[in-house]
Homo-oligomer: A and B are copies of this chain.
Amino acid sequence: MMSDLAKLLEQIESLDSELHLKDFLLTWEQTPQELEQVLLVADALREMRNQNISSRVFDSGLGVSLFRDNSTRTRFSYSSACNLLGLAVQDLDEGKSQIAHGETTRETANMISFCADVIGIRDDMYLGHGNKYMREVADALDFGKENEVLAQRPALVNLQCDIDHPTQSMADLAWLKEHFGSLEALKGKKIAMTWAYSPSYGKPLSVPQGIIGLMTRFGMDVTLAHPEGYDLIPEVVETAKHNAEASGGSFTQVASMEEAFKDADIVYPKSWAPYQVMGERTELLYANDQEGLKHLEEKCLAQNAQHKDWHCTEEMMKQTKDGEALYMHCLPADITGVSCKEGEVTEGVFNKYLVDTYKEAGWKPFIIASMIFNRKFAEPAKVLKELIERSQKRVEAQ
């Protein structure tokens, strides 16, 4: 077992990375080696935990969380990640704070960071704003560090924005690497990222965008499919095209789930709101126009209802490579007859892959912990080695 860890450390050591100098806000801002480093460190942290070796690199310190949207999975993953490293979570609840007061982002960011080692932010509702807000926070933290307001520069982790969902897509990639055996093995594999029907609206674009932005980095054949009018942010689609070219893979857009599923090795059917709707919705949210929001929801649900045939059924799965493509989902899925009357996927298909989707989700705490770890330590392999040699047990009596 120990040899697995030794091998991981060796691989980490061989990589070139600037991860300790930049926040992980979009996967396409990282080099392939940096992405690999996040995967490897996550793997090492998971392996250490399985071997009952504590990864508590911080004796004390705070992990701040700011959730501007409901969350279970990501909230628990973030808590788990902080806890794995020894940080206590302090949530910034904007409702209970004085932020409504008109306080500037610069001020808030500094006020919560005197003893913070990491700040995780989820801000995915406002198209054109979420990622921008994170950068404002990052700048504010740099300002604080430079001006000796802050003794340390907290890592900033994007827990989902309007553009990308890097902790999700990287967990998905870690799962694919585990499932297929290596990153190398992903080359030439076809992944179908397709829209699916759901009786809800306003679902963020960050998951499909994150998937096409990341999977195109590893020589995969990425196919995107959605009904007319359910576009993603054009710049991200451009990014995916460029990525595919650079990595020797491909990026294709098709107009039906059937076509996307054809010979696919992996399928990722998931609902999202059209880009244009998210833009309109953002304006209505800012204006607090309840009437307008209600009207938009109705319109959007009616539009959705025309595409109930975008449904991941047993029939549909037969289109895939040997009828046995790997089904993925960020969860929770809208399961027909379980969580809703008609949804993204049938109960039969979902249950066949249920354990797979759970394992997929299980990577998230370690991916987040890895992002924090890589941002804080310039030589992650060296630090991990110290922790392994220290050999503090996570559970004393095991």
Which A positions have Cβ atoms within 8 angstroms of B? 49-50, 54-62, 64, 67, 70-73, 75-77, 79-80, 83-84, 86, 88-90, 92, 96-99, 101-104, 107-108, 110-112, 114-117, 144, 147-151, 331-332, 334, 338-340, 355, 358-359, 361-362, 364-365, 376-377, 382-383, 386-387, 390, 392-397
CA distance A55 to B61 in the complex (A): 11
**A362 and chain B: residue at smallest CB distance:** B114
Interface contact B88-A60, CB-CB below 8 Å: no
Contacts of A359 in B (CB 8 A): 148-149
**A57 and chain B: residue at smallest CB distance:** B396
Given known contacts A96-B71, A98-B332, A338-B102, is B358 in contact with A147 (CB within 8 Å)? Answer: yes
Given known contacts A57-B397, A97-B71, A332-B102, is B90 in contact with A62 (CB within 8 Å)? Answer: no
12 pairs of residues in contact across A and B, judged by CB atoms under 8 Å = A54-B59, A59-B396, A60-B86, A62-B76, A62-B79, A70-B98, A72-B112, A75-B90, A89-B90, A101-B339, A111-B358, A150-B362
| A149 partner, pick from B55, B340, B362, B392, beta carbons under 8 A | B362
**A115 and chain B: residue at smallest CB distance:** B80
Interface contact A76-B111, CB-CB below 8 Å: yes
| A386 partner, pick from B75, B84, B397, beta carbons under 8 A | B397
| A355 partner, pick from B98, B102, B147, beta carbons under 8 A | B147
CA distance A112 to B75 in the complex (A): 9
Given known contacts A89-B90, A112-B72, A390-B396, is B54 in contact with A102 (CB within 8 Å)? Answer: no
CB of A175, distance to nearest CB on chain B (Å): 12
CA distance A358 to B148 in the complex (A): 10
CA distance A102 to B72 in the complex (A): 13
Contacts of A54 in B (CB 8 A): 59-60
Interface contact A361-B49, CB-CB below 8 Å: no
Interface contact B361-A111, CB-CB below 8 Å: yes
Interface contact B394-A387, CB-CB below 8 Å: no
Contacts of A49 in B (CB 8 A): 115, 151
Given known contacts A76-B111, A338-B104, is B83 in contact with A70 (CB within 8 Å)? Answer: no
Interface contact A76-B112, CB-CB below 8 Å: yes
Interface contact B102-A339, CB-CB below 8 Å: yes
CA distance A61 to B84 in the complex (A): 7
CB of A147, distance to nearest CB on chain B (Å): 5
CA distance A311 to B101 in the complex (A): 18
Given known contacts A62-B83, A83-B62, A396-B57, is B90 in contact with A339 (CB within 8 Å)? Answer: no
Q: From A49, A60, A67, A92, name the one whose CB has the most chain B CB atoms within 10 angstroms.
A: A60
Ordered nearest first, which 6 A-B pairs have the shortest CB separation? A102-B339, A80-B115, A72-B97, A383-B397, A149-B358, A79-B90
20 other A-B residue contacts (CB within 8 Å) besides A56-B396, A64-B76:
A54-B59, A56-B60, A58-B395, A59-B395, A61-B394, A62-B76, A72-B98, A76-B111, A76-B114, A77-B114, A79-B88, A79-B90, A84-B115, A98-B332, A147-B358, A148-B355, A148-B359, A383-B396, A383-B397, A386-B396
Contacts of A90 in B (CB 8 A): 75-76, 79-80, 89
Contacts of A117 in B (CB 8 A): 395
CB of A74, distance to nearest CB on chain B (Å): 10
| A59 partner, pick from B50, B56, B62, B115, beta carbons under 8 A | B56
